[in-house]
Amino acid sequence: MHELSIAIDIVDIATREAAKENATKINKVDIEVGTLSGVVIEALETAMTEAIRDTMLEGSHISIHEIPAMARCKVCRHEFKIDDWLALCPECGSPENEVIQGRELRLKTLEVT
Ligand SMILES: [Zn+2]
């Protein structure tokens, strides 16, 4: 399962970051997932509960935030929300745009003790 390997990576990164601060426990983790990242949030939530077992993250509060995808039109510079990779600019109708947000999959904040 794709999401489980992502969850394991997140746990890995969080554990390493916490170790750098000599923490013994991770209390809270915020994860940002873009709507174009290819990650299914519900599946990632389920995978996280598996991945944190017997780690420093066990019992911590895990929040997964969805980041809406945005694109910027290369013709008129208009910025708009998109649902998939093929989107037309609502202002000028151009198909030429660049995705400026929505591909992210990152650990945003980490609270440790
Ligand atoms: Zn445009």
Predicted pLDDT of residue 38: 92
CA of residue 82 to ligand 1 center, whole Å: 13
Using the predicted structure, report yes or no on whether residue 97 has a pLDDT greater than 80.
Answer: yes
**pLDDT reported for residue 1:** 56
Does residue 17 surpass a pLDDT of 60? yes
Domains and CATH numbers, the chain: 2-112 (3.30.2320.80)
How far apart (Å, rounded) are the C-alpha atoms in residues 59 and 80? 38
pLDDT tens, position by position, 44-58:
999 999 999 999 999
Q: Which residues make up the environment of ion ligand 1, defined by Cβ < 5 Å?
A: 73, 75-76, 78, 89, 91-92, 94
Residue with tokens 């000028």: 92
For residue 80, the CA-to-ligand 1 centroid distance in Å is 9
Quote the ligand 1 centre to 56 CA distance (angstroms). Answer: 47
**Ligand 1 center to residue 81 CA distance, Å?**
12
Angle between helices 2-20 and 41-51 (to 10 degrees): 60
Please compute the mean of the pLDDT values over residues 5-19 and round it to a whole number.
95
Q: How confident is the model at residue 95 (pLDDT cuts 50, 70, 90)?
A: very high
Number of residues in the chain: 113
